[in-house]
Amino acid sequence: MGYDMLLSPMNIGTMTLKNRTVMTAAEMSLGQTDGCPTEKMIAYYEERAKGGIAMIIPGICRVNDMGAASTFTQLSMSHDYHIEPMRAFAERLHKHGAKLCIQLHHPGRQGYASSINTLPVVIPVVRRFPKVLDALFKCTPLLLGLEEKGICMSVQSPSDCELSAHGATRIHAMSTREIKNLIQDFINAAERCKKAGVDAVELHGGHGYLIQQFLSPNTNLRTDEYGGSFENRLRFLREIIEGIRERCGRDYPLIVRLTADEMYDRIGKPGKGYGLEDGKRIAKRLEELGVDAINVTSACYDVYNRWLEPTSYEPGWRAYLAKEIKSVVSIPVIAANFMRSPDQAERQLEEGYQDFIGSARSFICEPHWIKKIEEGRPEQIRRCIGCLHCISSFMTNAKIGKSGECALNPGVGLEPYYEEPPKDGACRRIVIIGAGIAGLAAAEILLKRGFAVTVLEKEEMPGGQINTAAACNLKGKLSWAIEDRLAVLDALGAEIRFGVKVTPAEVKELDPYAVIVATGAEPIRPASILGSNLPHVFTPPEIIHRETVIENKKVIVAGSGMTGLETAEILNETGNEVTVIEMADEIAPGTWFQLLDDELERLVPAGTSFLTSCELMRIEKDSVTVLDRKEGKVRVIPADAVVLSLGVRGDKKLANQLSGEFDRVFTIGDAVSSGTIADAVKSARACCEGIR
């Protein structure tokens, strides 16, 4: 397939983009507390500029430090001292032909008071004494704890509306004076961007942040000139746009990121907020006000999975939103639409859904997305699988002073080393045993360093446990993690042998400099559970791969991690009455909430039952016995079949055999401890760093 439209130039206002790609904003906590970009941040975005992205919109940028903060290390254009660091940032991207657009943002009710209230005090100190930053992050858990107890000050909102699902932060309705001052903050920040040589600014009017809160009748309950009617709800955004136009000129490119549909109907709340028809009406008014482009998005934090989708969603599922907006405006339309491949991108451009292809996660995962297309190797693009590790890691790491990650790209935030690694391999042979994601990730890193790599796999195909995960309903995209790496490994010259039952003697024949054991893990059947080996007791892979099909039975699934829930979903399809039991006090403890919400949307309507605080003690022919920890009593539950989803145990047999035979033996992935795809890739990265 050709990519003529994708690679063609197009204007946004007076600005010409060299192709149709826009890296949309996704906060990764790469900045510093005073709001200036770090070298780490600049290198991260510069790599995407080198990779051919036409315009880059970094993560959220605050317009003041008193009420507009969302994280401790986001960008800021709240003071004149931000101008020169931002100029240096822009110049680094301009060297590679990329444009820089800064997204001006205010979180409103979705801010963390612990961030907002701390920054005005901390920033002056940090700018004078940079080492104070370390102390700040040590205090973060305390600040968050105070916030949860309601001790921190409240954050700004258009009105005293209900809290979002974002957290425990209290909110207060903004006074007219606060609104007027904040409008000036947006205008001042835009002017600083222009002075810094930033090519464009974007106003974030989506995802439930402050501008959208003014637009939505769900969150804007004001009765003054900033609430009530459509025009009054638009007034806050209109006055910001008019002020930027007056201060920066009509020719300075201005974009609005707009939630076209709040999508409350998707979670069973029709009539709440605003829908697509109102979104189209807003878009038309924005064009009339002189906005140069609209970046179409959807939903808000209350409807999280409709703007930041998990794996189960189909690429392009919300492309219709962009097409509807495009039907009522003549200015360019940018949209993400869960973009995952260049074929999808070209098709949506050709069919008129949008003018620019927006994505954050695809370009986090693959910084050289466009470069690989231009060089005729699109099959080597590392496709984002929608696992949400980027957002979950960011939300976790931001609280401890670390940046977000990507499950498949171990080089995020480490671009200078991982994109141009030292060529220190000297063709020394590395033998990797196991062609799951950990083994293949290690192979790629080592090949790029100049090692010779041989991968030995006992099965006739690669993938390991990803093959099981990808066989679950709506999770087929997980197989991309293997397919795409194989394409890269083939280009790098890896040798992969399948169907090999590895022995120490066979490894010795290869005379390796080092051996990496990535033999994965096997499901656990705990001996402590009486009856765990009975013939009607199964493990998840048997059900997921449809090796065993259970129909119209009472089935107990022990363990409510994602594997257990995905197994329950498959069992529901064949008429079973499924009960999931969990020893912990909640379902899927430690699971990122979006993944759990996504799974429950299918499990609950199917009639799945859940029992928490219940420990499986015994399995018998027609029942299970559990200890109900809440009630402090034993219960007997009827069961025709049982599935034990109680984790996996690393296969260390070969590693133990090899450790006495070779000087350098490393064990990675599930063979060390069970975890996610991200855990496997991180363990591969750490292992490779130790091979010198």
Half-sphere exposure of residue 2: CA atoms within 13 angstroms, side-chain side: 4
Dihedral (CA of 166, 171, 176, 182) sign: negative
The more confident residue out of 121 and 439 is 439
Q: What does pLDDT average to over the chain?
A: 93
The Cα 116–Cα 146 span in angstroms is 13
Whole-angstrom CA distances from 631 to 196, 623, 634 are 64, 20, 9
Question: What's the pLDDT tens digit per position in 388-415?
Answer: 999 999 998 887 778 999 999 999 999 9
What's the mean pLDDT in 625-643?
96
pLDDT of residue 143: 47
- In the residue annotation, 417 being an active-site residue is answered as no
User: Which sign, positive or negative, has the C-alpha torsion 22, 28, 32, 33?
Assistant: positive
pLDDT, one tens digit per residue, over 14-63 is 999 999 999 999 999 999 889 999 999 999 999 999 999 999 999 999 99
Starting from the edge strand earliest in sequence, which strands make up the sheet with 554-558, in order?
537-538, 641-644, 554-558, 577-581, 609-611
SS3 69: coil
What torsion, rounded to 10 degrees, do the Cα atoms 636, 642, 643, 646 define?
30
**Sign of the alpha-carbon dihedral angle for 277, 281, 286, 288:** positive
> Cα angle at 317 between 316 and 319, to 5 degrees?
60
> How does residue 113 score in pLDDT terms, banded at 50, 70 and 90?
low
Q: How sure is the predictor about 165, in pLDDT bands with cuts at 50, 70 and 90?
A: very low
Question: What per-residue confidence (pLDDT) applies to 66?
Answer: 80
pLDDT digits (tens, 9 = 90+) for 493-502: 999 999 999 9
For the ranges 132-136, 511-515, 616-620, the lowest mean pLDDT is seen at 132-136
Residue entry with tokens 């904040």: 182
pLDDT for residue 250 is more than 80: yes
Among 563, 579, 559, 581, which Cα is nearest to 640's? 579
pLDDT of residue 133: 52
pLDDT score, position 48: 98
Count of residues making up the chain: 692
Q: Is the pLDDT of residue 120 over 60?
A: no
* C-alpha torsion sign, points 319, 322, 328, 331: negative
Alpha helix segments (H runs only) across 219-295? 230-248, 276-288
**Token pair in block for residue 515:** 């051996």
Q: Per-residue pLDDT tens for 272-284?
A: 999 999 999 999 9
Give the domains, in start order, of the chain with CATH numbers.
Answer: 10-400 (3.20.20.70), 421-523+650-689 (3.40.50.720), 537-646 (3.50.50.60)
Candidate list 3, 112, 209, 264, residue with the active-site label: 209
pLDDT, one tens digit per residue, over 535-583 is 999 999 999 999 999 999 999 999 999 999 999 999 999 999 999 999 9
Which letter does DSSP use for residue 556 in this model? E
Closest CA to 124 of 29, 34, 30: 34
| Residues 673, 688: Cα–Cα separation, whole Å | 17
Q: What is the mean pLDDT of residues 414-442?
A: 96
Cβ count within 10 A of residue 584: 16
CA distance 59 to 103: 7
Q: What does residue 34 show for φ and ψ, rounded to 5 degrees?
A: -80, 0
